[in-house]
Amino acid sequence: MADHSVEELAPTPGDRATRFLKRADVKQTTLFFIFWTALFVVLGIYFYPKWMPTIMSVEMKSAEKIMIWFTVISAPIAGFVLAVATTAFMNRHRGDTPPPDGPAIRTNGPVVAVWTVTSLVFALVAIIWGLTEMNGQAVAAAKDAKSAITIEVRGSQWVWTFNYPAQGIETHELNLPIGVPVIFDVKSADVNHSFWPVQLGVKVDANAQVTTVIHTTPDKLGPIDVKCAELCGLYHAYMETTGEIQSASDFDAWVTAQGGHKA
C-alpha cells in the first residue's frame, strides 16, 4: 500500500467548506435566514409606513424614507440572528449532559473579517446619510429664512407655550399655515424637555441654558400632536398639546381670534 503524507490526507479549505454547507443545521439556518429577511423587507416596505404617524411635512417624508431604507438594509442582519436563534431552539439539546462547545467565532478569521467589514459599512452608511440629511435641512432652513414664520417654543413642567412674535400672540396650541416654512426657537424654563411635533417629523431638546433651533415646512392640512420626548418629571407623560395645519385664511382668522394681527 502506498504511503500518503499528512499533508495529502489533510482536508483542504474547500473540502471543509463543502462539508460545512452540507450540514443539516446549516441548511436549516439558511432557510430560516431567507424567511426572516424576506419578512422584514416586506414589513419595512409595505407595513411599517402604515404604522407611522401621518406625514404632514417635507421633513416627515424624509424621516419615513430613512426608516424604510434602514429597515430593509438591516433586514439581513436581523434575519441572520433570528435564523441562528430559531435553529438553535428547534435543535436544542435534550438530556442531562450538555454537548461540548463548538469552536469560538472569535478564532475564525473569515467570520471576524466579514462581520467587521459589514458593521463598518453599516456605520458609514448611517453617518454619511445622516450628515447629508442634516446638511440638506440646514441649507433649506437658510434658504427659507426670509419667508419663514418664527415661533418661540418654551417648555416647562409640564406645559408647552408658543409665542408668535410677528403675530403678537402667545398660546398653548400650535397652529401653523400650510406651505410656509417654520423656524422653532426652542428653550426650557426649568429642566430639560424635548420638543416633538409628531406629524411634522422633527424633534429637538429644550434646554434652559441655550436656545435650540429646528426647521420644518408643513405640507398637509390637519391636526397635529405635540409631545415631550424626554423624561422631565412626574407628569412627563401628560406634557402634550395639540394644534393644526391650516390654510392661510384659517390661520389668519385663528390669529385674529387670539387677539393678534397678520404678520
DSSP the chain: -----HHHHSPPHHHHHHHHHHSHHHHHHHHHHHHHHHHHHHIIIIIHHHHSPPP-BHHHHHHHHHHHHHHHHHHHHHHHHHHHHHHHHHT---SSSPPPP---GGG-HHHHHHHHHHHHHHHHHHHHHHHHHHHHHHHHHHHHGGGPEEEEEEEETTEEEEEETTTTEEESSEEEETT--EEEEEEESSS-EEEEEGGGT--EEE-SSS-EEEEE-B-S-EEEEEEE-S--STTGGG-EEEEEEE-HHHHHHHHHHTT----
Whether residues 38 and 83 fall in one domain: yes
153 found inside a domain: yes
Tell me the mean pLDDT in the region 209-228: 92
Tens digits of per-residue pLDDT, 245-261?
999 999 999 999 998 88
Q: What is the pLDDT of residue 1?
A: 46
For residues 33-37, give the mean pLDDT: 94
pLDDT at 79 over 50: yes
Grid cell at residue 185: 426657537
Evaluate if residue 28 carries a pLDDT over 80.
Answer: yes
Any domain includes 98: no
Residues 171 and 248 in one domain: yes
Nearest to 263 by CA among 177, 158, 157, 189: 177
User: Is residue 3 in some structural domain?
Assistant: no
Query: Among 115-129, 164-178, 187-201, where is mean pLDDT lowest?
Result: 115-129
For the chain, the domain total comes to 3
Report the distance separating Cα 171 and Cα 165, nearest Å: 11
CATH number, position 158: 2.60.40.420
Place of cell 424621516: 63
Instruction: Mark whether 249 and 152 lie in a shared domain.
Output: yes
Claim to verify: residue 153 and residue 136 sit in the same structural domain? no
Residue 243: is its pLDDT beyond 60? yes
**In terms of domains, do 141 and 168 share one?**
no
Are residues 160 and 227 both part of a single domain? yes
Higher pLDDT, 216 or 48: 216
Does a structural domain hold residue 224? Answer: yes
- 237 and 166 inside one domain: yes
Per DSSP, the residues of 204-252 read EEE-SSS-EEEEE-B-S-EEEEEEE-S--STTGGG-EEEEEEE-HHHHH
pLDDT above 60 for 4: no
pLDDT-based confidence at 8, cuts 50/70/90?
low
- Residue 11: pLDDT above 70? no
Same domain, 124 and 152: no
Mean of the per-residue pLDDT values for the chain? 85
Residue 5 resides in a domain: no
Q: Does residue 212 belong to any structural domain of this protein?
A: yes
Per-residue pLDDT tens digits for 40-74: 999 888 888 888 888 999 888 888 888 888 888 88
Owning domain of residue 59: 17-91
**pTM for the whole structure:** 0.74
Same domain as 38, residue 114: no
Residues 127 and 163 in one domain: no
Confidence band, pLDDT 50/70/90 cuts, at residue 189: very high
* Structural domain contains residue 206: yes
96 in a domain, yes or no? Answer: no
Taking 50 as the threshold, does the pLDDT of residue 129 lie above it? yes
Same-domain check for residues 133 and 155: no
Residues 63 and 154 in one domain: no
